[in-house]
Amino acid sequence: METTPRMSAPTRIAMVEDKPLLRLGVQRVVDEVGDWIWAWEAESLHTARAQLRNPCDVLLLDLGLPDGNGLDLIEEFSARDVRVIVFSVLGDEQSVLAAIERGAAGYLLKDTAAGQMREAIAQVLAGGAPLTPAVAGHLLRKMRRTEVAAPPADKSDTALMDLTAREREVLMALARGFSYDETATMLEISKHTVNHHIKQIYAKLAVTSRSQAVFEAVQAGWLRSS
């Protein structure tokens, strides 16, 4: 008896942004991808929380909302297995690090081109952590300052020191916003090996996302910029 092949479900994209024209522009970008659909949109913290039970796979999140800071939504949606990409004019170090600490899967500035936005969403869906260059720069500068102020702890004091040299290289690639494919090419290893190293990093650091792994390393001052 023949069975009809099961069609894969489309990827659902949602957005929290208080500017209607910007929401419309991003929706058009999403609509250009055949297997993506525009799930819903909201203009404030209040209306976004009303959508918590309305499923989506990726949430594009503004931080400067009329009734508060969008940072407050990151953990709420991440807890529902939604990949949150901050999409904001706020590119300062404090906002970037706070978003990553709370579990943001990526961070884009609002001057990001349409093609780059599509690529960033695709990277997040593939397990990546896209960061615009300016945002990645904040992470690297934070690494340098923390390293100078507080040398790495003794091996017995931190799980970070359990990482192998190769795992450290992979983590540095994540901190710079490289995708799995880019990391594999740069380190001259297979994508499967990159996935293996990332799983090992998660286990050793007791984290569940790339952004959390990067943040742990940055906060501990363990990563070097080169």
CATH (domain of 179): 1.10.10.10
Three-state DSSP string of the chain: CCCCCCCCCCEEEEEECCCHHHHHHHHHHHHCCCCEEEEEEECCHHHHHCCCCCCCCEEEECCEECCEECHHHHHHHHCCCCEEEEEECCCCHHHHHHHHHCCCCEEEECCCCHHHHHHHHHHHHCCCCCECHHHHHHHHHHHHHHHHHCCCCCHHHCHHHHCCHHHHHHHHHHHCCCCHHHHHHHHCCCHHHHHHHHHHHHHHHCCCCHHHHHHHHHHHCCCCCC
Same domain? For 174 and 216 the reply is yes
Cα separation, 169 vs 81, in Å, equals 27
- Give yes or no: residues 107 and 161 share one domain: no
What predicted TM-score, i.e. pTM, was given to this entire model?
0.63
> Both 80 and 145 in a single domain?
no
| Angle ∠(98,99,100) on CA atoms, nearest 5 | 95
Which residue is listed with tokens 């081109």?
113
**Spatial distance between the Cα atoms of 114 and 117, rounded to a whole number of angstroms:** 5
One domain for residues 143 and 213: yes
* 3: in domain: no
| pLDDT at residue 7 in the model | 57
Same domain flag for 73 and 167: no
Residue with tokens 């916003």: 177
19 and 121 housed in the same domain: yes
Does residue 102 lie within any of the structural domains? yes
What does the alpha-carbon distance between residue 23 and residue 28 come to, in Å, rounded to a whole number?
9
The pLDDT score that the predictor gives to residue 143 is 53
The domain boundary, picked from 130, 151, 169, lies at: 130
159 and 211 share one domain? yes
Regarding whether 59 and 99 lie in a shared domain, the answer is yes
Residues 84 and 104 sit within 8 Å (Cβ to Cβ): yes
| Parent domain of 29 | 11-130
Q: Which amino acid is at 13?
A: I
Per-residue pLDDT of the chain (226 residues; tens, 9 = 90+): 445 545 578 999 999 999 999 999 999 999 999 899 999 999 999 999 999 989 899 999 999 999 999 998 998 998 888 999 999 887 777 888 888 888 888 888 888 888 888 988 998 888 777 777 666 666 656 555 555 555 555 443 456 778 888 888 888 877 776 777 778 887 888 888 888 888 888 888 888 777 778 777 776 665 544 3
Residue 58 sits in the same domain as residue 85: yes
CATH number at residue 48: 3.40.50.2300
Residue 92 lies in a domain: yes
Task: Determine the angle formed by the axes of helices 133-149 and 93-101, rounding to 10 degrees.
Answer: 90
Indicate the number of domains in the chain. 2
- Shared domain check, 91 and 161: no
* 111 and 20 within one domain: yes
Rounded Cα distance between 130 and 124, Å, is 7
pLDDT at residue number 51 = 95
